[in-house]
A and B are shown apart, each in its own frame.
Chain A
Amino acid sequence: MKKIFLWISIILILLWTLVPFYSLIVTSIASSGSISEFFPKKVTFEYYKTILVGDESSGKNIWSYMLNSVIICSISTFIVLLLSVPGAYGFSKWKSKTSTSIYLSYFVLRMLPPIALVVPRLVILGRLGLMDSFLGLALVYIPTQIPLGIWLMKGFFDTTPKEMEECAWLEGATVFQTFWKIVLPINSNGVTVTAVFVFICCYIEFLYASLISRSHVLTLPPYIAGFATPWEIRFQLMLAASLISILPMVILFAFIQRFMVKGITGGALK
């Protein structure tokens, strides 16, 4: 009885997760007549060709948009790490009421709805001439991701054994030397995990990407959504592009398997 219950549950879970994925794969290779069939009779790879190589009219393919995404996410991640890694070390060492309240307010800032700042941000970026630019989007992502970087890194710094740092000070190393030569190498894992999570958060962002990136720096999420226009929805192209957009995510997730739970809760769990 119990075994049967277990296997029925497993089958239910598999159906729940895999049927949509199956449909995603099958539809992206179904030719236009077979699009609504669960087992398409006519199969074509022309949609993948259009996505991967480029279509006849514009010649643009998915790689240029993916490159835009990667550039913006890399700039943002780099600056976020540059600010939040030393910042988190500071918070880990600075023990006072002030530091706790600043630290908690980071949490609140991060949780503010992105939509709330859309209008002022767009007006400001427009005035500065930063619309449709890498810098414009990075300026939005950096402040939203700094709190994430700080929590995650602080979690790693807090668990670093104090004895090693204290030894280094006794030997006459400065705080910066200790940080650079001892604390940071021990926490290289933590830096990687933080970088990957910040990167993913930028990579999947849709609202600002769709508003700020237009033609020059169009990123993946608005590119995928862009196959649906008020006049027609090109489902096969849209789904083929969706499937390919998984690639970077697979690579990123492979790096952080062990730290997944820590990362997705923003370090809020012990």
Chain B
Amino acid sequence: MKNYQQKIAIYLTIPSIVVTIVLLAIPIAYGVYLSFTNLDIIKRTNDFIGLKNYVKAFTDAALYMSIFRNIIYVVVVVIFNFLIGFFMAFICYQNFIGNKVLRFIIILPMLLIPTAAAVLWRFLYNYDIGLINSLLTTMNLSRIGWLISPKFALLSVILTDIWAWTPWMFLILLAGMENLDKQVLEAANIDGASQFQVIKNIMLPIMSPIITIAISLKAIETFRTFDYVWVMTSGGPGGSSDITSTFIYKQAFKHLQYGYSSALSIIVMAVLAILTIFIVKNLIAKEGNL
């Protein structure tokens, strides 16, 4: 019976595996092929040029800059997601009237689809009519070009991402806190430990598996981001908020260099695949239920 059952189980997994492989392997293989060509819609070229695209990519300073910005983006977003999310979860873990209402309000940004959140903040940041600059002028401060000055553009987008995704982190951390053993925390309180000591010496160590998973998932997810940057700044001004995804997008659909953009894609995909395998093997698989 066991053997028979195992065989049937293998058959059941086959359709999903086949469909996934067919629908992913074909574009990946085709992408690899394109990356060796100079397919260019404007110049109307489509020849095999070997590794030239890769040589160009590895000497393209803009690619390195976009990867660098992408790393900053991920690190800042994840750190603040965690800090704010933990703070919110810790507050909601306390007893007070209206706790349920506060939880509901905190989750609200999750209901906005990312495009809508990006659009909303694009309005808040608007130089002439945005809320933030209106507040600054009422306080007699000068307006700031949040999305139109190279200094602030990326940071402004990062803040939007933090605002929109903190509820996600909040939900996971709150679930982790509610699974904590209340007696341990009470004992610590009776022994006179301060709130800070309780968090540092009891909550964080016990919650470390859940925190590891939440941060790894969020980091991988943020590396893939596209919509916030694209809707708010399109990578501008002057490429100052370009991250890898918007950089590749522009090579493909603004400069119409399909071949070069495919080479960039393959590089980014390889880097992220290695990173993901590392994270999955060392962090998620150990702490989670994969």
- Residue picked from A16, A89, A246, A268, most chain B C-beta under 10 Å: A268
Contact with A along B168-180 (1 / 0, CB 8 A): 1001100100000
Q: Does B202 contact A (CB under 8 A)?
A: no
Main DSSP-derived SS at the B contact region:
helix
Question: Which A residues are in CB contact (< 8 Å) with B10?
Answer: 90, 94
Task: Flag if A204 contacts B113 (CB, 8 Å).
Answer: yes
Query: Looking at the complex, which of B55-63, B148-156, B218-226 is the stretch in contact with chain A?
Result: B218-226
- A109 and B20 in contact (CB under 8 A), knowing A116-B268, A119-B34, A264-B168? yes
Question: Which B residues are in CB contact (< 8 Å) with A35?
Answer: 129
Q: How far is it, in angstroms, between the C-alpha of A117 and the C-alpha of B168 when the chains are bound?
A: 27
Question: Which A residues are in CB contact (< 8 Å) with B163?
Answer: 16, 20
Q: Does B102 contact A (CB under 8 A)?
A: yes
The interface size bin for chain A is 35 or more
Those of A232-267 within 8 Å (CB) of chain B: 233, 235, 238-239, 241-243, 245-246, 249-250, 253, 260-261, 264-267
Task: Flag if A90 contacts B285 (CB, 8 Å).
Answer: no
- A115 and B280 in contact (CB under 8 A), knowing A94-B13, A143-B23? no
Question: Which A residues are in CB contact (< 8 Å) with B289?
Answer: 155, 158, 267-270
CB A64 to nearest CB in B, in angstroms, measures 17
Q: How far is it, in angstroms, between the C-alpha of A2 and the C-alpha of B199 when the chains are bound?
A: 15
Q: Taking CB as reference atom, which chain B residue is nearest A235?
A: B123
Residue numbers of B with Cβ under 8 A of A are 1, 4-6, 8-17, 19-20, 23-24, 26-28, 30-31, 34, 84, 87-88, 91, 94, 96, 102, 105-116, 118-124, 126, 128-131, 134-135, 163, 168, 171-172, 175, 195, 210, 213-214, 217, 220-221, 223-224, 226-227, 230-231, 244-245, 248-249, 252-253, 258, 261-262, 265-266, 268-269, 272-273, 276-277, 280-281, 284-285, 288-290
Q: List 12 A-B contacts (CB under 8 A).
A: A17-B108, A87-B17, A89-B9, A90-B9, A90-B11, A112-B224, A116-B31, A117-B27, A124-B26, A207-B249, A233-B122, A270-B288
Known: A107-B276, A146-B20. 18 other contacts (CB 8 A): A6-B91, A7-B96, A10-B96, A14-B105, A23-B123, A36-B134, A38-B135, A112-B276, A115-B226, A117-B24, A118-B252, A124-B30, A143-B20, A146-B16, A151-B290, A203-B113, A207-B245, A249-B112
Residue numbers of A with Cβ under 8 A of B are 2, 6-7, 9-10, 13-14, 16-21, 23-24, 27, 35-38, 83-84, 86-87, 89-95, 99, 102-104, 106-109, 111-121, 123-124, 139, 142-143, 146-147, 150-151, 155, 158, 169, 175-176, 203-204, 206-207, 211, 220-222, 224-225, 227-228, 233, 235, 238-239, 241-243, 245-246, 249-250, 253, 260-261, 264-270
